[in-house]
Amino acid sequence: MPKYKQYDEQVSDGVNLLISILVRYPEIGRIGFDPQSNSLKLTFLLSTIPSNIEFSNIKNLLLNSLIAYTTLEDVSLSTFDVLLDTYDQVAMLSIFRDVHTISKGEIALLIALLRGKFKNHLITDFNDSLLEEDLLIQEEVIEDMLTNIKKHHTENRLIGIREDGRVLVFNK
């Protein structure tokens, strides 16, 4: 197991990014960073299992919306995939995106689309104690950490989850 210095900026940036995304977007149940593919995996929990047609439709909606968004932002879309896993009566919708082209605005777009499509079935861990100012600060941190991770390659595989209203980040 590798040893980390207390002030390892790469680990700190990655951890701060995952924490900020989970705090800012309560719809995301789990987030992972894979240094080998340099990608993020955003996982959303659904209280219903979509049919194959519904899943295909949402995947096409997300892809087409992302293509339009990245075209308007003049960014090339390199890594994008959507997978669906089911466990009993819960579905896990995972979106894979590369760190170099993802943005805070894109994450907000993906969440808005999923909210619209799944309405009451998107499991959300709301934190009523967060003020609008706190959410804006989290958005700034997300933007800063994305910029730092894009500039400096990190070799640490990280995973962030929600548990009982808390956000936990682990080095995998």
**Around 25, how many Cα atoms within 13 Å sit in the side-chain half-sphere?**
29
Q: What's the pLDDT tens digit per position in 20-75?
A: 899 889 999 999 999 888 899 999 999 999 999 999 999 999 999 999 999 999 98
Predicted confidence (pLDDT) at residue 10 exceeds the cutoff of 70: no
Residue pointed to by tokens 């089911």: 86
Q: What is the pLDDT of residue 147?
A: 85
* pLDDT more than 70, % of the chain: 88
- Cα–Cα distance measured from residue 76 to residue 123, given in angstroms and rounded to the nearest whole number: 31
Predicted confidence (pLDDT) at residue 4 exceeds the cutoff of 80: no
For the question of whether the overall pTM of this predicted structure is more than 0.85, the answer is yes
Spatial CB neighbours of 95, under 8 Å, sequence gap ≥ 6: 41, 42, 43, 44, 62, 80, 81, 82, 110
Work out whether the CA dihedral 99, 103, 106, 111 comes out positive or negative.
positive
